[in-house]
Structure 1
Amino acid sequence: MAENLLELIFPVGKTLDQLKELSSNQYSPVPSTLIIGQLEEMKTALLMQAAVSEGTTGGQVLFIAPSKLNHLPPSVHGMAQPSSQSMNNIRFLYACHTADLQGYLASVHLTPSRDLPTLIIIDNLQKYVKDDMLGEIASMMVTTHRLFSLAQEAAEYCHTALTKDNINSKLIITD
């Protein structure tokens, strides 16, 4: 499986020595990435590429989104293409509201170990933050931090449970 999360999205090979050096200063055993940008569909395409790449290698992916994807976004040239095998390893969870996402992340420890994801993806975090806050900045910041913390704790739980089987887990979130 790819050591660096960017390797799941782009065909960069093993030439990321500078990024690997930066990522060695981790506060958590779980590699985490936040993708920020304006074009929602392009970020979703990058997330889907990461999911397909992880699924192709046999990893289990949990792809969390606020609504159902109408179609598969385009894949990245030179990377793994969606197949029935890779798509069977991707589980989609459509959490429509902030409370749904919080509830799932807080209860991931109840998931049987055979179903724990090696990669957790949360698409469109802004939807969950803006959904309940109606523009109140302080509340939005609290909700954002709570969601990041819950996501990191869920990923760390999966990592700890899966390292018994010598499997690592990862976390990717978009705004």
Structure 2
Amino acid sequence: MTRLVDIRVDAAGLPPADADTEQERRVAIFDLLEANSFVPLDPAGAPLPGDGFRLVLSRSEGRLWFDIADAEGQPLVRQHLSMDALRQVAKDYRQICDSYHDAVHSLPPARIETIDTARREIHTEGARLVQHRLAGRVTLDLATARRLFTLICAIQAGT
């Protein structure tokens, strides 16, 4: 199985992050590295060779850039993902996460469950959007797309 073996976020294009945002990013990267299926594709749509890839995420020009290298660090391809497409679903996800965290401390279990269900649905919507936007350039399963969406939200949190 082809997978990510290293992920870094280039903070140069991001505003300074607070400690909570930095922790969110670290946790998202850890989770993504623990289990993922990530297959970068060449311009013809064929899988790039290798069994492990390194990923550097950076932001510029309203885009999230994916600099993909092989396991040894040799650059292979640079892809981008428009943040415009993800902005609303990431905002909705952040808001429902905030509501969920507030609810845990003050609402009855049934109401918490309702908010959590909505949170999971928005998270899946974001993951499917990531898959769709990367189609033809990177192949990833839904579980990986969910983890990548979480990382994208953590990157967005500082902006």
Whose strand fraction is larger, Structure 1's or Structure 2's?
A: 2
Whose helix fraction is larger, Structure 1's or Structure 2's?
A: 2
What's the TM-score once normalised by structure 2's chain length? 0.35
What's the TM-score once normalised by structure 1's chain length? 0.33
